């Protein structure tokens, strides 16, 4: 049997935080664990923390105690369902770090578990960045067409299930080519960015705003009929018309509106909203619903 000093020395040579716990009490840990939290001993750790799992930050993408019943042992839950899981923990500087936990039961004591913390923060951040690149427009940082279509499919299913209204707005900057030709593409990009920020501030949190392509944008309004969507489009139109600053020239925007129906095929609602926008563009700075 390995004596305690040698066992502790072996643990301390491992660069990952490692602990032995029964799920509640911290029984043993290595130096890297202490360094992460800036504690000097298990006794000091226990003075401020009842359970290591209490330090798992609640996050939609990672495991935390919020995901399980209060009467369920978190360590049994992870061990019996998946011996590897991902958690977020704040370090001694208050910075979130992402760890993959590998949990194994000690053969000598079935109530004790060895947990190895592998820092995968860089990997997770890279995944997040790649996801944002895949679904966000790089200039305006709102959703791109791919993500919009994905959300639209989900909202159409919700509409069929619950019977709520679902409206679609398509908007286009009037005479945008003239802006680029007169002021240059740098100013044109600033127009797109400013427009995006202005509209985003005046939408609800559940509304979906995306760049469709070029100077065209889409807004999806869940649980909203075309009359309410029309009023929102008029509000945005006036807001944009009245906006002015020293960076970009004054612009106007035209809006087309339609309601998405249960009978709509994949492209039929797009054809209607595109037709509504086309009619609005005849007069420019106008709103038309079909």
> Annotated catalytic, 157?
no
Strand pairing of 287-289 and 253-259?
parallel
Catalytic residue among 126, 157, 215, 216: 215
Q: Name the CA dihedral angle for 221, 226, 232, 238, rounded to a multiple of 10 degrees.
A: 140
Closest by Cα among 88, 102, 90, 91 to 35: 91
Catalytic positions are 215
């Amino acid at each position: 049997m390995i004596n305690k000093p040698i066992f502790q020395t072996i643990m301390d040579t491992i660069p990952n935080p490692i602990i032995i716990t029964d799920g509640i009490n911290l029984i043993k840990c290595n130096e890297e664990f202490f360094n992460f939290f800036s504690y000097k001993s298990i006794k000091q750790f226990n003075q401020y923390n009842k359970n290591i799992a209490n330090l798992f930050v609640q996050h939609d993408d990672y495991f935390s105690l919020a995901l399980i019943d209060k009467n369920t042992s978190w360590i049994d839950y992870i061990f019996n369902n998946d011996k590897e899981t991902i958690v977020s923990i704040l370090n001694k500087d208050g910075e979130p770090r992402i760890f993959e936990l590998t949990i194994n039961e000690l053969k000598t004591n079935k109530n004790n578990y060895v947990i190895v913390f592998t820092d995968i923060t860089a990997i997770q951040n890279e995944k997040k960045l790649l996801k944002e690149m895949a679904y966000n427009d790089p200039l305006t940082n709102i959703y791109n067409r791919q993500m919009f279509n994905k959300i639209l499919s989900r909202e159409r299913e919700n509409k069929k299930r619950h019977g709520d209204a679902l409206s679609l707005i398509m908007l286009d900057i009037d005479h945008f080519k003239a802006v680029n030709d007169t002021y240059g593409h740098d100013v044109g990009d600033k127009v797109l960015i400013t427009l995006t920020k202005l509209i985003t501030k005046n939408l609800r949190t559940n509304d979906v705003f995306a760049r469709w392509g070029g100077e065209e944008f889409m807004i999806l309004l869940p649980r909203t009929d075309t009359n309410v969507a029309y009023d929102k489009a008029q509000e945005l139109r006036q807001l944009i018309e009245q906006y002015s600053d020293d960076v970009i020239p004054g612009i106007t925007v035209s809006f087309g509106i339609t309601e998405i129906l249960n009978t709509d095929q994949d492209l039929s609602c797009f054809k209607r909203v595109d037709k509504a926008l086309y009619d609005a563009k005849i007069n420019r700075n106008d709103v038309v619903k079909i």
